[in-house]
Amino acid sequence: MQVHSPTQGSVLALFRIVVGLLFACHGAATLFGVLGGGPGPTPAVGQWPSWWAALIQLVGGTLVMLGVATRPAAILCSGSMAYAYFVHHQPDGLLPLQNGGEHAALFCWAFLLVAALGPGRWALADPLTPAARPTSAARITTNDRSNA
């Protein structure tokens, strides 16, 4: 049995917005050297993997934050953080506390949660999703009632 709290959609939306904003800030810091800058010099355009990772962070984080194409963007963001963890952090130690991969692990699982649960409330694309549109049968029923 699944129990839904009346605040569940709002809390999920706040989680999505905060995680997306923080992720986008990481991307902006790396690409443009703003907000305290990235971990090093800004990468050259197209440089693998830093520039591409920062671009995914900026664009994907912004999409998730706004609630536009939330699930695909969250899956891309989660995958990029899994890649970062296993390729860049895992060789330095088994556990995230040993290898400095706490941020990558947390972002990976946070975006996986958003991808699984959806955007919650206040998503800009909410009215555009098929689940939010009434079915043709519902439109007919609504129209029949208004004509009566």
- Please give the mean pLDDT across all residues of the chain: 85
Total-model pTM? 0.80
- What average pLDDT score do residues 77-85 get? 97
Q: Where along the chain do its domains lie?
A: 8-147
**Three-state secondary structure readout of the chain:** CCCCCCCHHHHHHHHHHHHHHHHHHHHHHHHHCCCCCCCCCCCCCCCCCHHHHHHHHHHHHHHHHHCCCHHHHHHHHHHHHHHHHHHHHHHHCCCHHHHCCHHHHHHHHHHHHHHHHCCCCCCCCHHHCCCCCCCHHHHHHHHHHHHC
pLDDT (tens digit per residue) in 1-38: 566 788 888 999 999 999 999 999 999 999 998 888 76
pLDDT (tens digit per residue) in 123-140: 998 554 555 444 444 444
pLDDT for 1: 56
